[in-house]
Chains A and B, each alone.
Chain A
Amino acid sequence: GEDVEQSLFLSVREGDSSVINCTYTDSSSTYLYWYKQEPGAGLQLLTYIFSNMDMKQDQRLTVLLNKKDKHLSLRIADTQTGDSAIYFCAETLGSSNTGKLIFGQGTTLQVKP
């Protein structure tokens, strides 16, 4: 079945760039998403990319999509301590839009001052 894989942990220094990687399996996904979860809270949508795009930039966030390799990445420029959280990659399940998502395991980003 469909699967989304992420590395579990990333540690960076404040001010550095962070790159979180994700691989997915469903080539018919129309949208791919990055969600952020802060401690003790639910997930919040951080950004998303349409499947016919290669890149999307939104302030400090850059999303890169390689459809051939089914690889998605999230780059956070000038990482701050407030960016410490768990980041989830998610793909839509098939080309329908029931909103069903498949989530990765989440990458814990630790930002050291």
Chain B
Amino acid sequence: NAGVTQTPKFRILKIGQSMTLQCTQDMNHNYMYWYRQDPGMGLKLIYYSVGAGITDKGEVPNGYNVSRSTTEDFPLRLELAAPSQTSVYFCASSYDRGRSSYNEQFFGPGTRLTVL
């Protein structure tokens, strides 16, 4: 199993450009998440999905969009990139073990995005 893979690893965007960050998992997890990590700020949840066709906003969704057409893929779209979106982006996935069980999230290696 490759686990959670993310592409690209690095990207530099100009203000106003758009791009899609790719995320794929091969563990048949139903839950998937996108986070951003800013220095000294921990991780903030952007969007999450509990299954194909179902997505919902996290803490910081503005400026981003997601889709979940398959169980494996959960791309994150940035429209009109802004310097405030400079960050490291992590995709994660987990398996629904039910309400009474713990939920281990598996993280990809991250995408480092700079908007100039």
Give the interface of A toward B (CB within 8 A): 4, 8, 30-31, 33, 40-45, 48, 50, 88, 92, 95-101, 103-106
Contact = CB atoms under 8 A, between A and B. Distances in A.
Interface residues of B, number: 30
A42 B89 CA distance: 10
Interface of B: 4, 31, 33, 35, 40-45, 48, 50, 58, 90, 92, 94, 96-105, 107-110
Contacts, number: 67
A105 to B, nearest CB: 4
Contact of A50 (B90, B99, B102): B102
A111 B72 CA distance: 38
A88 B100 CA distance: 22
Nearest to A105: B42
A105 B41 contact: yes
A4 B42 contact: yes
Nearest to B6: A42
A3 to B, nearest CB: 10
Given A42-B90, A105-B42, A106-B42, A99 B96 contact: yes
Given A43-B90, A45-B105, A98 B41 contact: no
Contacts of A4: 42
